[in-house]
Amino acid sequence: MSRVFKLKSSDNETFEVEEAAALLSETIKSSSSTEITVPNVKAEILGKVVEWCNKHAESEDTKDQLIKEWDAEFVSVDQHVLFKLITAADYLQIKELVDQLTQRVGDMIKAKTLKTVEMTYPTFNVEREVQEELKSLGF
């Protein structure tokens, strides 16, 4: 008999989640209660996290092409929603969701910064560096 968990958002909305989906969260897994309040996460965001968990609980093979497409759609949200989702997924410790969301952020950063990346290491003269290295080794 599978347990049902109740997740409560910061604005007092409750989501019922089946055990298989709920246990994707390490936080829920290690909780002693089946009622968990998620602070600072509103219903809109918590609902999406629950949606992700439900989707991933029902598909056994996460390498399936269809679920990959679904995941890609899922993370294609406005950046502010994205950041809120990351905070929620991190609190709930859903590793795979955090990975997908942060990868999306990485892609967005690359797309914005490709023309403006600067090395913060000071530029150096290779020949001189090698010379110094050799000296420090006693050559």
Partner 1 sequence: MGASLSNLTEGANGSGLGPGLGDIPENCVACVFMYLTPPEICNLARLNRAFRGAASSDAVWESKLPPNYHGLLDLLPPERYQNLSKKDIFALLSRPVPYDDANKVLWLDRVTGRVCMSISAKAMAITGIEDRRYWNWIPTEESRFHVVAYLQQIWWYEVDGVVKFPFPADIYTLSFRLHIGRFAKRLGRRVCNFEHTHGWDIKPVRFELWTPDGQQASYECCLDQIEHDDAYGSHKRGCWVDYKVGEFIVTDADPVTEVRFSMKQIDCTHSKGGLCVDSVFIIPSNLKERKRKGVLK
Q: Which is nearer to partner 1, 21 or 45 (CB)?
A: 45
Work out how close the CB of 102 gets to partner 1 at its nearest, in angstroms, rounded to a whole number.
4
What is the token pair recorded at 98?
């955090």
Residue 10 interacts with partner 1 (CB under 8 A): yes or no? no
Query: CB-wise, 31 or 131, nearer to partner 1?
Result: 131
Q: How far apart are CA 92 and CA 96, in angstroms?
A: 11
CA gap 127, 135 in Å, rounded: 12
Query: C-beta of 126: minimal distance to partner 1 in Å?
Result: 6
Residue 96 touches partner 1, criterion: CB under 8 A: no
Please say which residue, 16 or 129, places its beta carbon nearer to partner 1: 129
Task: Classify the C-alpha dihedral 29-31-32-38 as positive or negative.
Answer: negative
Which segment (12-20, 31-39, 63-71, 110-118) binds partner 1 by CB under 8 A?
Answer: 110-118
- Identify the CA nearest to 20 among candidates 36, 37, 2, 46: 2
